[in-house]
């Protein structure tokens, strides 16, 4: 029987607030996996902490709900153990651009064959609406009652300057467009990063659907240089969605002779003798 969306459903229903942008993202992800004919047992979804990081609970794949800011290290370990798995890391802007910032930068330059989806709602939703690294200057929240003083982190511009090989921005309400981006990121041999703008209808009243719809437009073509892509990423009065950059480079796991030809989990460990290494520890 052909794969269908139902194959990715769990019996439990998501407890996200009604109309949260997370619904669009999980649906786009399911559609992408079905259209690429990737079966649930071939997929691992790793998440951090936050509303978005509950996503693996409601997706019928292997899942790993890790620590705050740590989906990328866990996804890296899983990919190195079994690089035949489709490994997808998910998290929010607080998780990935706050606590997980260092992992994000190093994953970009390392170029493992992973997908990283960041649900960017410009706020910490799960903990009831504090300022996040992408909240705009002047943003008033429970943690910044007089408004944010700092400038917001720009994930696309940062990824472009950190040697990322697949860099895109999507919008949770444009599900067909986001699905196509996710498919491209999965097919891409390397680190497929998508910053997904999404409304948090409960705690972010400023960046609501009207705000997004006044600014979002689809990129007509992929920029021809990183510099041009950064210029588009730095636009503030409008927000381009689409593919900002893609290039082919060797992957981290492809450069490791120990696993290049055979996944670690498939290798015979009967002849490996650890006694010498263990003796050296004492």
Nearer to ligand SF4, 58 or 203 (CB): 203
Q: How far apart are CA 206 and CA 263, in angstroms?
A: 47
Piece in contact with ligand SF4 (CB under 6 A), picked from 3-11, 14-22, 32-40, 269-277: 14-22
The contact pattern for ligand SF4, residues 42-61, with x = CB under 6 A and - = no contact, is: ---------x----------
| Min dist. Cβ of residue 121 to ligand SF4 (A) | 5
Residues of this chain, 22-41, that bind ligand SF4 according to CB under 6 A = 22
**How would you classify the pairing of strands 166-171 and 115-120?**
unpaired
Q: Report if residue 202 touches ligand SF4, rule: CB under 6 A.
A: yes
Piece in contact with ligand SF4 (CB under 6 A), picked from 118-126, 166-174, 208-216, 221-229: 118-126
| Min dist. Cβ of residue 148 to ligand SF4 (A) | 18
Q: Report if residue 121 touches ligand SF4, rule: CB under 6 A.
A: yes
Using CB under 6 A, pick the residue from 201, 219, 263, 264 that binds ligand SF4.
201
Nearer to ligand SF4, 203 or 245 (CB): 203
Q: Report if residue 211 touches ligand SF4, rule: CB under 6 A.
A: no
Nearer to ligand SF4, 50 or 164 (CB): 50
Q: How far apart are CA 277 and CA 282, in angstroms?
A: 10
Q: Report if residue 139 touches ligand SF4, rule: CB under 6 A.
A: no
Q: Report if residue 200 touches ligand SF4, rule: CB under 6 A.
A: yes
| Min dist. Cβ of residue 124 to ligand SF4 (A) | 9
| Min dist. Cβ of residue 143 to ligand SF4 (A) | 15
Nearer to ligand SF4, 97 or 203 (CB): 203
Using CB under 6 A, pick the residue from 17, 36, 163, 264 that binds ligand SF4.
17
Tell me which residue of 167, 239, 198 sits closest to 28, measured CA to CA: 198
Using CB under 6 A, pick the residue from 8, 139, 203, 212 that binds ligand SF4.
203
Nearer to ligand SF4, 56 or 125 (CB): 125
**What are the Cα distances from residue 68, in Å, to 48, 126, 176, 198, 229?**
5, 12, 30, 20, 30
HEC sequence for the chain: CCCCHHHHCCCCCCCCCCCCCHHHHHHHHHHHHHHCCCCHHHEEEEECCCCHHHHHHHCCCEEEECCCCCHHHHHHHHHHHCCCCEEEEEEEHHHHHHHCHHHHHHHHHHCCCCEEEEEECCCECCCCCECCCCCCCCCCCCCCCCCCCCCCCCHHHHHHHCCCCEEEEEECCCHHHHHHHHHHHHHCCCCEEEEEECCCCCCCCCCCHHHHHHHEEECCCCCCCHHHHHHHHCCCCCEEEEEEEECCCCCCHHHCCCCCCCCHHHCCCCCCCCHHHHHCCC
Binding residues for ligand SF4 (CB under 6 A): 16-17, 20, 22, 51, 121, 125-126, 200-203
């Amino acid at each position: 029987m052909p794969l269908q969306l139902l194959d990715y459903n769990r019996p439990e229903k998501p407890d996200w607030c009604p109309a949260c942008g997370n619904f669009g993202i999980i649906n786009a992800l399911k559609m992408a996996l079905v259209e690429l004919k990737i079966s649930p047992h071939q997929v691992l979804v790793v998440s951090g902490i936050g509303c978005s990081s509950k996503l693996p609970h409601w997706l019928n794949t292997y899942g790993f709900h890790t620590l705050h800011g740590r989906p990328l290290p866990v996804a890296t370990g899983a990919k190195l153990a079994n690089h035949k798995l489709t490994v997808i890391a998910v998290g929010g802007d607080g998780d990935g651009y706050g606590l997980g910032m260092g992992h994000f930068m190093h994953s970009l330059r390392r170029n493992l064959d992973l997908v990283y989806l960041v649900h960017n709602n410009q706020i910490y939703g799960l903990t009831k609406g504090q300022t996040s690294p992408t909240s705009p200057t002047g943003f008033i929240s429970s943690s910044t009652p007089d408004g944010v003083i700092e400038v917001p982190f720009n994930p696309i511009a940062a990824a472009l300057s950190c040697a990322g090989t697949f860099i895109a921005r999507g919008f949770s309400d444009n599900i067909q467009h986001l699905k196509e981006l996710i498919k491209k990121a999965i097919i891409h041999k390397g680190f497929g990063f998508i910053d997904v703008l999404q409304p948090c209808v409960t705690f972010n009243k400023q960046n609501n659907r009207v705000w997004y719809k006044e600014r979002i437009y689809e990129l007509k073509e992929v920029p021809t240089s990183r510099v041009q892509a950064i210029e588009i990423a730095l636009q503030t009065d409008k927000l381009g969605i689409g593919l900002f950059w893609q290039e082919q480079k060797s992957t981290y796991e492809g450069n490791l002779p120990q696993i290049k030809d055979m996944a670690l989990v498939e290798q015979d460990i009967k002849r490996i003798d650890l006694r010498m290494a263990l003796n050296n520890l004492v």
